[in-house]
Structure 1
Amino acid sequence: MNVVEEIKNKKIIHWFRNDQRVSDHEIISVHHTLKSIRCFYLMDAKWSENHQLGFPLIGEKRKQFIQESIQELKNDLEKLGIDLTIIHNSSELKELQVDDDEILTYQKLFGTEEIKIEQTILSSFANSIAIDNFTLTDNLTLPFELDKTPNVFSSFRKKVEKYGSFQNPITLPDIPEVSQPYVMSGGEQHAIHRLKYYFYEQKLLSIYKETRNGMLGTDFSSRFSPWLSNGNISARTIYAFIKDYEEKFESNSSTYWLIFELLWRDFFQFQLRKYGSLFFQKNGINGKSIAYRNHEDTFWNWANGTTGDDLVDANMIELKTTGWMSNRGRQNVASYLVHDLNINWRWGAAWMESQLIDYDPASNWGNWMYIAGVGNDPRPFRKFNTKGQAERYDSEGNYRNKWLK
């Protein structure tokens, strides 16, 4: 029995996590079939905490994006007659006054901290149903046991594409006639307007593979990741619209490449499920011991964009200013911190966790391990030459000039 059938005519309390949307949602999309429904969102315990180096665990840009997302979710739920309660810590759960016949539904997440929070919340409910909807790949059709998940992406991708299957959306969001101007703000409507603009108005999906390594502007990349991370839009919804685009316009290597990138995202999600806490340990998933210098002043030069390396500094200033950085930039600044400055990769991963509006535990920490040489990279050492990268991807210096002026 699927979740939709299981909850029919039941009294539901839904705990929103990284599923902050009303369309393509196992619970909200079928709310009219329920006996009753109410919802809550638990603020991250890290909201007011600091890292050992003194920076906030959740920076201002990321906080703002989350707040925007939750406010829009609250407004959208109100239009459906559904109440959303904001809870600041788990001790406030008692204020919900849960009835014995109410069932908790919630999105299953797999980070170590997310699992601990889940255990705390579940202790307050007699009955619960977990929903596994964060990936494109259907976990029930994985062509391997979780502990046998391939450690190399190409092997994972080929097996999933050949033997697995992708999740289907519950419902699809309505696409507006005309998109709003691009704004990097949280909320489902911003995600949908971005999809409308990128796919159907500008048809940028057709050239995605050629432009994806860019750094300047907003059109070189889909920029879906902030909304994906918070669940304002799902991977399966994006996939459905990719297939719609291919049917209406064209199917080429670029349209496939966005699916390819969604599978990269899935790869790290399933690696986190496989390895758990090893994702966050110094020696990573392969246990490789590396000695770091860990000079705090050097770290702060990197974080503040004052290293003297133009490409690194421009990217770090963009991050601090906007909460965003290109994929190309992330690879370069990570390599520079670890391999040029010899700073612990976990400091860098924690800084990105604080600053990025598209922060996701699996993608962030998985990619940092990858660059540091303690993760899934089949190559023993992955160092980027930032001077060469600048010449190749910013030959005119336009990107660096924008952020260093």
Structure 2
Amino acid sequence: MQTLYWFTRDLRLHDNAALLAASRSGTLLCVYVVDPRWFTPFRWSRRPMGEHRWRFLWQSLMALERNLRPLGQRLHIAFGAPEQVIPELAASHGIEQVIRSRQPGTEEADQWASIQAALPDVLCREFETLGLLTEGTLPMALADLPATFSRFRKQVEAAGAQHSDILRIRTLSALPPPPGFARDNRGDCPPIVEPQHATPFTGGESAGLDRLQHFTFGIHGIERYKETRNALDDWDASSKFSPWLANGCVSAREVAETIREYEQVHTRNESTYWLWFELLWRDYFHWYALKHGADLFHRDGPQRQHRPSEFDAERFADWCGGNTVYPLVNAAMNQLRETGYISNRARQLVASCYVNELGLDWRYGAAWFEQQLIDYDVASNYGNWQYLAGVGADPRGLRRFNLDKQAAQYDPDGEYVACWANTAGDA
């Protein structure tokens, strides 16, 4: 069978059930589609793909191509709308089967439906590769997904899924040949802009796996993770796995298995559990997005919980540009704009300021994060913003942080604010 494999958020050879299925073909065309709509204003006047996200993604694509070459394959990079590109490639190469990883997000679902409609005689298959669990191993039906993470976690752990149902798939060492090298149009993709501030993040499977091993077995950061994870600007205080997880350079199951191996070899404590706990949070938002669909982007959330808010262009621009009256918030927003990354604690603080102090519509803040963050994924980003804005999966409602108290606790000497104080800019 002649197969087209559509890489999306699964840019790796290890633990990839979708690619494994595609490898059982006669010929295999490996495709990644860069959508030009990513680079133009879209949802809430933001372009989805900012410079930092694009740079990390492109690095990841080039790393994937390097890993495919020894297997006799290459990555065909197409610049265009997937609902047009995939059917055109399928027609020109006599494709009988199209495979991809199952995606959360309404745009992704609509594109897949359009491709299936355009290819009525082609077998279109999706596999679940993005999370810890598959829908078949969830301890509940997707329609019955609990409204809170706590209830979800208890059901998952009661079912013993922490270890028994999370098994990574071997790294592929062979792939079928391509049906002739298709001419791609990667040259039409936007140029890569190098950051003004050096970043330790480099996209790609090898870089992600190296970070996983370094943080766990290298510096044993996993043993003290719960105590250090809230640091604002310390590279080894938290795992920093999220950019590679978001792009699928490293699988969540690979991380879970590495945690289990560490616990067997070294120690199992509250910190090793907490890293698993946060992986499970990521999984919960994945299923939350699949369950709620378009409600993930609704101002009042799935439960239509109305919270007073507005959009004020001047206040929004001040927040994005690090020009508010809150020095800690300004520092974090400057770091985000300059590097494409801020810590989880910083994200909570700037989002709390945005929703509570500035009184702005959370969706515009989420769209700014979507543009800027190198670890953006639709489910975690919009799920977390709904959670903090009090319209999502948080049973306690609106979350409000005392910014002065947070600054005293996490930046007592003002080092973080001083470091990022002089890079204020425009949205």
- Do both share a fold (TM > 0.5)? yes
Pairing of 1:134-173 with structure 2 (within 5 A): 134-163=130-159, 165=161, 166-171=165-170
| Equivalent position of 1:184 in the other structure | 201
Shift of residue 13 of structure 1? Answer: 1.3
Residues 1:305 and 2:322 are matched in the alignment: yes
User: Is 1:341 aligned to 2:335, yes or no?
Assistant: no
Question: Offset of 1:52 from its aligned partner?
Answer: 6.8
2:347 maps to 1:330: yes
1:108-163 Cα shifts (integer Å, max 9, x gaps): 11201111111122234311221011110232121212111111111100101111
Match of residue 178 from structure 1: none
- Picking from 101, 107, 112, the partner of 2:106 is 112
Cα drift, residue 273 of structure 1: 1.3
**1:35-85 deviation per Cα after TM superposition (whole angstroms, max 9, x unaligned):** 221211111353221147654321111111111111111121122111321
Indicate the residue corresponding to 2:115 in structure 1.
Answer: 121
Deviations along 1:302-332, one digit per CA (max 9) or x if unpaired, are 0011102111001100100110011101111
Give the alignment of 1:193-232 within 5 angstroms: 193-232=210-249
Q: 2 CA distance for matches of 1:269 and 1:295?
A: 31
Aligned to 1:102: 96
Deviation string, structure 1 residues 168-188 (Cα, Å, up to 9, x no partner): 1111599xxxxxx98302110
Secondary structure of 1:339's partner? helix
TM-score, with structure 2 as normaliser: 0.87
Report whether the alignment pairs 1:11 with 2:2: yes
SS at match of 1:113: helix
Distance 2:70 2:37 in 1: 30
Q: Distance in 2 between matches of 1:346 and 1:12?
A: 38
Q: Which runs of 5+ in 1 are unaligned?
A: 1-9, 175-180
Give the TM-score normalised by the residue count of structure 1.
0.91
Deviates more, 1:24-33 or 1:149-158: 24-33
Q: Which residue of 2 aligns with 1:285?
A: 302
Q: Which amino acid aligns with 2:369?
A: M
- Residue 21 in structure 1 maps to residue 12 in structure 2: yes
* Partner Cα separation in structure 1 for residue 147 and residue 21 of structure 2: 37
Structure 1 consecutive aligned stretches of length 4 or more whose deviation exceeds 6 Å: none
The 3-state SS of whatever aligns with 2:376 is coil
Q: Distance in 1 between matches of 2:280 and 2:85?
A: 38
CA distance in 1, matches of 2:37, 2:201: 23
Pick closer, same or farther for the CA change 1:330–1:146 going to 2, 3 Å.
same
Tell me the SS of whatever aligns to 1:110.
Answer: coil
> What is the count of residue pairs matched by the alignment?
390
Cα RMSD after superposing both structures: 2.1
Contact 1:23 1:29 survives alignment (8 Å): no
Distance 2:3 2:249 in 1: 21
Evaluate the alpha carbon distance shift between residue 277 and residue 19 of structure 1 in structure 2; reply closer, same or farther with a 3 A threshold.
same
Taking a change above 3 Å as real, the CA distance of residues 164 and 115 of structure 1, as seen in their structure-2 partners, is: farther
Partner of 1:399, secondary structure, is helix
Secondary structure of 2:299's counterpart equals: coil
Contact in 1 for aligned 2:18/2:100 (Cα 8 Å): no
Spell out, residue by residue over 1:333-377, the C-alpha distance to the aligned partner (whole angstroms, 9 max, x if none).
Answer: 111011100110001000000000000111000110111111111
Which structure has the higher relative contact order (CA within 8 Å, separation 6+)?
2
